[in-house]
Structure 1
Amino acid sequence: MEETKEVVKTDKFGDVTVYVSGDRKLRVFLTVHDIGQNHKSFHQFLLHEDMKAILSKFCIVQITVPGQEEGAETLPNDYKFPTMQEMGTEVIPQVLAALGCKSKDVVGLGVGAGANILCRYAMVSAYDVLGLCLLECSAESAGFLEWGQEKIASLQLNMKGMNPTSESYLIWHHYGNAKHQKLKEVHAFHDNLYKTMNPHNLACFVETYMARTNFMDKLKTMKCRVLMVTGSRSAHVKDVEKTYTAMDRQNSEILKLDGGDVMDDNPEKLAESMLFFLQGLGLVASVVSRKMSRGSSFSRDSL
């Protein structure tokens, strides 16, 4: 996937790194990542055969939360890190405007903290967003146990840099039940944390997510269609289910797939579900899933 790196200067939060692929005259497919990650966490899934066919119809815009890009310099001590609300209501609109992309009819894909940010964006840009696919999304503020885990993780990151305590929390956050974690993916995640992530900047993002505000009572104001997704072994199943119950059932649906990190563990089913979700929005009507293509392969080959 060829992408162009863009650096957008925002009014309050300095430079924001964005990666853009495709024709900017097309509808925007917008991604926002989770804590402990950056835009590269989407790459393997977006390169899935079914997703490549879908994304050919979009301009892909991947926002990296400030300071989370690979090899990022340490943010200054006086830097005001954006809140979750500011990321959704100020940073995203400024980025899309600066890129000159077609900002109407946006489709979003977010994970964890990124999903929370996209919800906030959709609520203030109601007529710009067609649909959101939200993985492991919680609209509540952090509970006491989660707050404590995140606080310890952020303190350790600032005091020691990347360390086993913070790493263990982030692995649990992304992969859930330790007994079922895929060693290959966990090792890759471990390497990314220690080799490419700036621990001070990551601590800022963790603290911001820890301080997120509750917007459960505002979910019914969302006008776009929403596909909520969680993994059967995810650490966030109950949070996702609770968030879904507060949504308008006419505009939302929930999907539980096998695995902890569903983009890694169940990419084909997630891609197929996204295809049907987008077709329900009146988009990508000409795209056929590989499963359906295989079912009709005999008739095509015999022509």
Structure 2
Amino acid sequence: MCSPAKIQLTKYIVTTERCGDLHVHVQGDLNQQGKKAVFLTVHDLGCNHSSFHDFVNHPCMCEIKDRSIFIHIDAPGHEDNAPDLPDSFQFPILQTFGEDLGTVLDFLHVKYVIGLGEGAGANVLARFGIANPSRVLGLILINCTGSAASVIENFKNKFVNWKGSGSMSQSAEEYLIFHKFGHQIVNDANSDKDKVMVEFQERIRSTLNNKNLKLYVTAFLNRKDLPLKQCKTDILLITGVLSSYANVVEKLHRELEKTKATLLKIERAGDVLLQAPEKVAHSILLFCKGQGLLTSLTLPGVERQRTFSGSSGDGEGRPRRLSRGMSMEEYDKPNIRRLSITINSDNLPNKHN
């Protein structure tokens, strides 16, 4: 049975070369990383680690959470109630932010991770994966943009002006809401949209430092093209049909090798973590199984016995089955030698050997 209790967050402050002090929140026991899947998360604009922390604590993630460790990264100056970043501090570009994440893993003594990012954070994690292929077992990217900011985005940026560090202009707030929720803001059929957006507004007005938030937005709008074709790991792209970046994600998927990249489009959703957490959790589990992780967990509607078939190897090429002599933790232990592509890819060569 899945434990309903929330796992306590352990907070670290990691000093990096170019990103300054990064606030890191670990959900789970790092001493168990040899037996569990380890996820590295980076949040989108207008939020911080709490967005992924809340998602992981959703009931649909319960079993995955119990068999995993989540390392949540706050962008510089994005921890709750953060002070203004010093005027002398140069906020990192997305490429630099991604590259410096290796320092966090070194500090925590973590070897391998599954990258899980949203929006600007997905772009950051993709850059980390490209720069550190030996440390990333796979990338799950929600609303990831592959190209530099479009003319329309830059035009919108002209109207995104913060009024000091303590308040935010209406146009800036509207930009963040559209970035986060996309076309659902004009969908009158969504009865929960007002409540969701009010909660989002309250968060960016209260716990987040608006001056620091503007710096992250600026870094995102000034991003360079993302050379995701160079990524050597498997990729799951997730977007909502109502997302403002749905077409961008589809375009990115078309440019990638179909043997490495999978696209999931979720109907009637703009913010998929809030509106369709069950579908996101299901896709995460399916993706991880393709990497030889979380193999003891069953997919909804699939017989447990089928999950324990010989689809997973023991590292020496022999089938691995769950027996009385193997615990759930042993079965879930990441099998680094078996990192196949995604679904139905047992006959593909093992690219990590």
1:61 equivalent in alignment to 2:71: yes
Report what 1:99 is aligned to: 108
- Return the alpha-carbon distance in structure 1 between the equivalents of residues 173 and 65 of structure 2: 32
Matches within 5 A, 1:47-126: 47-90=57-100, 92-100=101-109, 102-104=110-112, 106-126=113-133
Unpaired segments ≥5 residues, structure 2: 1-6, 305-353
1:156 is displaced (CA, Å) by 2.7
> How far 1:71 sits from its partner (Å)?
0.5
Please state which structure has a larger fraction of its residues in helix: 1
Matched, 1:211 2:211: no
State the identity %. Answer: 36
User: Residue 238 of structure 1: CA displacement?
Assistant: 0.9
136 and 63 in structure 1: CA distance in 2 versus 1, 3 angstrom threshold: same
Partner Cα distance (1:243, 1:157) in 2: 35
What residue identity is the alignment partner of 2:153?
E
- Alpha-carbon distance change, 269 to 134 in structure 1, aligned in 2, over 3 angstroms: same
Structure with more relative contact order (C-alpha pairs < 8 Å, separation 6 or more): 1
Structure 1 residues 151 and 89: alpha-carbon distance in aligned structure 2, compared to 1, 3 A threshold: farther
Cα distance in 2, alignment partners of residues 200 and 255 from structure 1:
34
Question: Is there any run of 5+ residues in structure 1 with no aligned partner, and where?
Answer: 295-303
Shift of 1:55: 2.6
1:3-55 per-residue CA deviation (whole Å, 9 max, x = no partner) reads 11111111233211010122214142111001111011123321123422113
- TM-score, length-scaled by structure 1: 0.90
CA distance in 2 between counterparts of 1:268 and 1:132 reads: 19
Supply the AA of the counterpart residue of 2:74: T
Contact 2:19–2:96 (Cα < 8 Å) also in 1 = no
Alpha-carbon separation, structure 2, partners of 1:109 and 1:127 = 16
Which structure has the larger Rg? 2
Contact 1:28–1:103 at 8 Å: present in 2 too? no
Instruction: Report the Cα offset of residue 56 of structure 1.
Output: 2.4
Q: 1:239 to 1:224 in 2, by over 3 A?
A: same
**Residue in 1 that maps onto 2:323:** none
- Which residue among 13, 27, 33 is the counterpart of 2:19? 13
Specify the SS of the correspondent of 1:37: coil
- Which one of the candidate residues 184, 203, 208 is aligned to 1:192? 203
The answer on whether the counterparts of 1:33 and 1:114 sit within 8 Å (CA) in structure 2 is yes
In the other structure, the counterpart of 2:151 is 144
Match of 1:179 among 179, 182, 186: 186
Which of 255, 258, 265 is the aligned partner of 1:246? 255
Do 2:166 and 2:211's aligned partners in 1 also have CA atoms closer than 8 Å? no
- Shift of the 149–291 alpha-carbon distance from structure 1 to 2, 3 Å rule, reads farther
Q: Residue 50 of structure 1 contacts residue 290 of structure 1 at CA under 8 Å; is this kept in 2?
A: no
Give the 5 Å matches for 1:285-300. 285-289=295-299, 292=302
- In structure 2, what is the Cα distance between the partners aligned to 1:269 and 1:282? 20
Tell me the amino acid that sits aligned with residue 205 of structure 2: Y
- Equivalent positions of 1:165-176 (< 5 A) are 165-176=171-182
**What is the root-mean-square deviation of aligned Cα atoms in Å?**
1.9
Change (3 A) 1:157 1:235: farther
Deviates more, 1:275-284 or 1:180-189: 180-189
| Aligned residue pairs, count | 289
The alpha carbon displacement at 1:158 in A equals 4.4
